[in-house]
Amino acid sequence: MKRVTFLRINKSREYLSSLGKIGCRPLFGGYSLTVEGVVFAMVAEGELYLRACEKCAQYFIQKSAPPLMYSKRGLPVALNYYRVDEELWENPDKLVQLSSQALRSAQREKTQIKIRSRRLKDLPNISLNIEVMLREVGINDPQTLQLFGPKRSWLKLRSTRKTVGIKVLLALAGAIRGVHEAVLPADVRKELTDWWRRYEQRQHPYSEH
């Protein structure tokens, strides 16, 4: 069976070479197929299984394709991978299309997981001190910071920290864009600076900023 499995791995690599360099490593009693470290398919007991995604799931449902089964503590568990049948092997273009969809879906999911796992302080311009201040006002992760945007996030900080100034506003804008605040586009810097000055003028109408 191991020989048959490796023959299937080699055949899969040949058919799907347009996706990129396909890696292979042991996983769940079979072998995962990867492109740049992202798993999009499995080979087990001589069969190829593609990772299900929103776009390709309907095809496998219509074909009543069996899922990849994995034994966990003696109990069978169905994994989110579906077997490629002979009809699909005889249609290489369709096989590449479904495999590409599975790969892109897996890549998006990996990116989203990576983003969710990042801390605020991992972003440009965000020191541990700023991270603590953001958390105090309910901004606990990069997604929330991006959702609020620099102005709203800064206003939330300002509501509890009256000393927060323009430098923090620009730092937040840079963090959201993934760049150091010093390289923010000139038009963005000007718009934020003008907005900050108008805000300060409303707060202190008799002061100059």
Mean pLDDT of 87-99: 96
Contact indicator for 187, 196 with CB cutoff of 8 Å: no
Three-class secondary structure of residue 204 per DSSP:
coil
Amino acid at 159: S
- Backbone region of residue 74 per phi and psi (left: phi > 0; alpha: psi in -120 to 50; beta: other values): left
d(CA 174, CA 38): 29
Of 101-115, 130-144, 178-192, the range with the lowest mean pLDDT is 101-115
Q: What is the pLDDT of residue 77?
A: 82
Q: How far apart are CA 135 and CA 2, in angstroms?
A: 52
What's the burial of 76, exposed, middle or buried (CB within 10 Å: 0-12/13-18/19+)? exposed
What is the per-residue pLDDT for 209? 47
The CA-CA-CA angle for residues 125, 145, 117, to 5°, reads 85
Confidence check: pLDDT of 2 > 90? no
More confident residue, 133 or 111: 133
* Residue 28 vs residue 160, higher pLDDT: 160
- Give the sheet arrangement for strand 47-51, strand by strand: 22-27, 30-35, 38-44, 47-51, 75-83, 67-72
* DSSP run (H or E) holding 59: helix 54-62
CB atoms within 10 A of CB 87: 10
- Rounded Cα gap, residues 117 and 125, in angstroms: 18
Backbone angles phi, psi at 48, to 5 degrees: -95, 135
Question: Could you give the residue ranges of the DSSP H alpha helices within 90-180?
Answer: 92-117, 128-136, 142-160, 166-177
Helix (H, G, I), strand (E, B) or coil at 67: strand
